[in-house]
Amino acid sequence: MTTQILSGATGVLALADGTILQGVGVGAVGTALGEVVFNTAMTGYQEILTDPSYMSQILAFTFPHVGNVGVNVEDVEQIGDGSGTSARGAIFRDVPTDPANWRATEGAGGDLDAWMKRRGVVGLSGVDTRALTKIIRDKGAPHAVIAHHPDGQFDLDALVAQAKAWTGLVGLDLAKDASTLQAFDWNEGVWEWPAGYPRVEATDKNVVVVDYGVKRNILRALASTGAKITVVPATTSAEDILARNPDGVVLSNGPGDPAATGEYAVPEIKKLVASGKPLMGICLGHQMLAIALGAHTVKMEQGHHGANHPVKDLTTGKVEIVSMNHGFTVDRDSLPDAVVETHVSLFDGTNCGIAVKDKPIFSVQHHPEASPGPTDSLYLFNRFAESMKGA
C-alpha cells in the first residue's frame, strides 16, 4: 500500500488509464466504482441522481453550478429507499451551493451535501468538468473509482488498479436489483401547482408496468391518462402479467445491458407481443422490445445523458427536445421488416423509437416523462392510451 497525502485535496477520481483528477470531496466518505458519464442538464440534479438507469455509474454534471435548489422529498425518482440502485457518485465543477429555494425541505435544511451523505453518494467538486467531458467524448465513458477522504490520504495505485479490473456494464444485468420485489398499485398523478402530486382516480384502462428500474414520473404520467396502474417485478412471467387482464403493458426504463437482462425478460416480452396487447417500451424497455422483435443492441461510446437532446418523430415530422439517459442503443440495421423506425436522434442519427406495423406496439429510447427536462414528448403516454382504446 502506497498511501499518498494530497495537499488540499480531499477527493479524487482515478480513471482506469491512470489519469487522476483531484478536488474537494463532498457527500459520503468512501469510494465508489463505476462508469463515468456526463449529463448536460442545467436543472433537476436530484431527479438525475435518483434515476435507477444510472446504477453503477458516476455522474459528471457539465452545468457548473449545482445545489442552489436544494433537495426535497418529492423529487426522488426511484421506488424504495434507493440504496445502491441509482448513481454511485457525482462530480461537480464547483462545491455545491447552499439551498435557496422554497422547495428545499429534505434533511439538513434541504442541503445537497447532507442528502448525498445520507444516501451514500460519493461526490467530488472543484474538477474541470469540461476537460473530463472532453476525455469522455474522445475516449468513451471510462471505468473509474471516485473517492472522498477528509484526511486527503489515498492509495492512488490501488484505485487505478480497481478501476482497471472492473469489467464494466456490458453483460451486466442490473434490473433485478433496481426492480420492486413485489407487485403494487400506483395512483399518483403528475405534479400540479400548488398541491404537488395529486391522487388520481382510475377511470379507464388497466395498465401493467414491468419494473426494470422505473421512474416515479413514468408512473405519474401513465396514471394521469386515467389508467389504473399495477407495477410488477422485472422477473414476472408473461402468464402472470396476462392473468391480470391488462388493457396494455409498459416495459420500463432501467440500468445495465439490455442483452443481459433480456436473457430472462425477452422470452416473456415475446409472449406479450404474441398476445396482441398494446405495448409501450421506454429506454431499457425499448431496447429489450427491439431484441424480442429480432433486432440487437450495441454499447455506445459516450451514451446520451441530458435534458436537451433533439429527436425527430418521423411519424409527425416534428422535432422534440427530450431527456435521454442510456449507454446502449438499438442497431437500426438489425430491425426486421415488420418493424419501422419512428424516432431518430438529431445529434448522432441513432435510433430513438420503433413501432410494429399494424400492431399497437411501440417504444422510444428517450424519456417522455422528462423529470428533469422539457415535456415535448409527453404526448406519447396519450398515444399509448389511445392504442388501448382501439385494441
Q: Any idea which residues carry the catalytic annotation?
A: 283, 367, 369
149/57 Cα distance (integer angstroms): 20
C-alpha cell at 221: 404520467
Instruction: For residue 156, count other CB atoms closer than 10 A to its CB.
Output: 18
Burial per residue of 174-198, b for 16 or more beta-carbon CB atoms within 10 angstroms, e otherwise: bbbbbbbeebeebebbbeeeeeeee
CA distances from 335 to 153, 170, 279, 351 (A): 51, 21, 17, 10
Question: Which residue shows C-alpha cell 422547495?
Answer: 103
The single residue listed with the C-alpha cell 502506497 is 2
80 closest CA partner among 43, 112, 50: 50
Distance CA 131, CA 87 (A): 21
Q: What is the DSSP letter of 382?
A: H
Length of the chain: 391
Distances (CA, A) of 244 to 35, 211, 238: 38, 16, 10
Q: How far is it, in rounded angstroms, from Cα 156 to Cα 233?
A: 40
Stretch (H or E) spanning 129: helix 129-139
Helix (H) or strand (E) holding 311, with range, is: strand 297-313
Q: How far apart, in whole angstroms, are the C-alpha atoms of residue 59 and residue 283?
A: 18
Rounded CA-CA distance 20/95 in Å is 19
Cβ density class 20-54: b for 16+ within 10 Å, e for less: bbbbbbbbbbebbbbbbbbbebbebbbbbbbbbbb
CA–CA distances in Å: residue 76 to residues 119, 217, 312: 11, 9, 29
